[in-house]
Amino acid sequence: MEMTGNTILITGGGSGIGRGLAEAFHGLGNQVILAGRRKGLLESVTAANPGMQSAMVDVQDPASPRAFARSMVEQYPSLNVLVNNAGIMKPENLREGAEDLSAIEATVATNLIAPLQLTLALLPMLKKQRRATVMTVSSGLAFVPMAQTPTYCATKAAIHSWTQSLRYQLRGSSVEVLEVIPPYVQTELMGAHQTEDPRAMPLRDFIDEVMEILRTQPEAKEICVKRVYPLRYAAEQGKYQEMFERMNGAMSHAE
């Protein structure tokens, strides 16, 4: 991926990893467009980063990603990088069953359906660019799930699988397909307390390492900071069950 001179659309760009990536790319001279559904949050980020743009989109609305893509094509004909970052993560008690499936439906819509729709809607334009990038943001939990958040982990595993297929189908085209695989990071994904959790990787450290990988390892297709290695490579190292039991056992004791 070229590190400057791009027009980059980042979903979920108002906070956390999305904002961190947006500010890092903006600082390198790229045109960055933040997409999200919290207007005040987006405006606060763009105000702090003159020249950055924002656009409202509710990815939980099934019709929204396609309509949003059409508007992006019209407003930003030079758009050549899509970062599918928007995501939600909610705990679920599967032991009790559920009459209200709203949390599950929202998670699948946000984490899986929306990025697929948006990518496919923007792909014809991306393929016309000299060089383009589709970047998905999955999770280390795609490889070793945290049982407390089963739907989140399942959607991230699906995104990982879909990203591999997209990369294969686009081989030989001008569009490269990258996957960022975060560990547990100090964001508000599971609430404000997560931003101070010492067990989580500081957001700035995570962003700095991701940008360094993008800069120095142009052949990398999976952007893995070292802190996510134990999850990402648990199965390859024959440690999957050990990692699964250790992580979920620790979570059970913390409840």
Catalytic residues: 152
Residue 36's contacts (CB-CB under 8 Å, 6 or more residues apart) are 11, 12, 13, 14, 18, 42, 54, 56, 57, 86
Residue 135's contacts (CB-CB under 8 Å, 6 or more residues apart) are 1, 81, 82, 83, 84, 177, 178, 179, 180
Of 227, 234, 188, nearest to 206 by C-alpha is 227
Q: How far is CA 248 from the centre of its chain?
A: 23
Q: Determine the Cα angle at 75 with ends 218 and 115, to 5°.
A: 55
